Amino acid sequence: MSAPALQLVDLHKSFGVTPIIRGVSLDVALGERHAIIGPNGAGKSTLFHLISGRFPATSGKVLLKGGDITGLPPYLINRRGLSRSFQVTNIFPRLSVFENIRCGVLWSLGYRYSFWHLIERLRDARERAESILEQINLAARRDVQAGLLSYAEQRALEIGITIAGGADVIMLDEPTAGMNRSETEHAVELIRRVSEGKTLVVVEHDMSVVFDLADRISVLVYGQVIASDTPERIRANPAVREAYLGTAASLEHADA
């Protein structure tokens, strides 16, 4: 059997004396769309940071496709095929929309730190960036400075940069936060399309999106995974219902 796309082994993280992630073990199978849900402040984003190398874990291990990536810097993890987006938009504000995407493309096409290629002549980089722009519906905004985009457009760009490098494990932290209904629908379609044949880990508050998209759902509460299962079983899980007491209605709602 091939190794899982992502394997977390008893991961812990404390900020000072405050434990935030308290022993998370989780397997995400290859090709799976995995959603992580949980109340505000549960540690979902922190978990993303630990996996992607933004913060070092206090203890525990992270394996990517069987290889140990614990403690590696973000760029090495990215080069091994894991790409992530951020909950708070994290783009290159003074570069144009097109250049933002192209920056996401360059390493994966093997241009590395090249100062012996003229970027305009790199057809593959241009075409790849243009196709991503089409996919995220920003082709018309191509030459606008990214910092001047509207909030929803910046969120779309955030996803675009993340998928640009063609990583096979994609992690999205609340990709649809702050989007309206139709923007959300478009984003979900996009995420479904670009994660075709890839592994997706997504943090999302919108339950209809979660149940629509996910093959499996993990519920993170106060730094621990209290359940990890298929959407149906998660919906029926009493512990999850307990944790989501106030939002039980939204779980029901997602049935519709």
Partner 1 sequence: MSTIARYWAWIAAALALVALPHIFSSGASITMMSLMGFAVIFALSYNMLLGQTGMLSFGHAVYYGLGGFITAHALNIIGAGKLPIPLPVLPLVGGLAGLSFAIIFGWVSTKRAGTAFAMISLGVGELVAACSLILRGFFGGEGGVSTSRTSTLQLFGLSFGPQIQVYYLIAAWSLACVGAMYAFTRTPMGRMCNAVRDNPERAEFVGYSTQMVRFIAFCTSGFFAGVAGGLAAIHYEIVTASVVGAAPSGFVLLMAYIGGVAFFIGPIIGAILMTALQISLSDYTGAWQLYVGLMFVLMVMYAPLGLAGLLLMHRPLISAGVFSRLLPGYALAAVPALALFAGAVLVIETAHHLLVKASDGPAMRVFWVSYDANSPVAWTVFAALIATGFLAFRRTWPVVSGAWHEATLEARRKLAK
Ligand X SMILES: Nc1ncnc2c1ncn2[C@@H]1O[C@H](COP(=O)(O)OP(=O)(O)OP(=O)(O)O)[C@@H](O)[C@H]1O
Among 30, 60, 87, 111, the residue binding partner 1 under the rule CB under 8 A is 111
| Mask for 59-98, x = binds ligand X (CB under 6 A) | ----------------------------x-----------
- Is position 43 an interface residue for ligand X (rule: CB under 6 A)? yes
Q: Whole-number minimum distance, CB 44 to ligand X, in Å? A: 3
CA dihedral 27, 49, 21, 210 (to 10 degrees): -60
- CB of 128 closer than 8 Å to CB of 105: yes
**Which segment (38-46, 60-68, 138-146, 242-250) binds ligand X by CB under 6 A?**
38-46
For residue 77 the two structure tokens come to 């993890």
Cβ proximity to Mg ion: between 45 and 154 the closer is 45
Backbone phi and psi for residue 229, each to the nearest 5 degrees, phi listed first: -165, -175
Among 51, 62, 122, 156, the residue binding partner 1 under the rule CB under 8 A is 122
The tokens 């097109």 sit on which residue? 98
DSSP code, position 167: -
- Is position 119 an interface residue for partner 1 (rule: CB under 8 A)? yes
83: region left, alpha or beta (phi > 0 left; psi from -120 to 50 alpha): beta
Contacts of 174 (CB under 8 A, 6+ apart): 87, 203, 204, 205
Point out which residues bind partner 1 (CB under 8 A).
Answer: 52, 54, 73-75, 78-79, 83-84, 86, 90-95, 99, 102-104, 106-108, 111-120, 122, 125, 161, 164-165
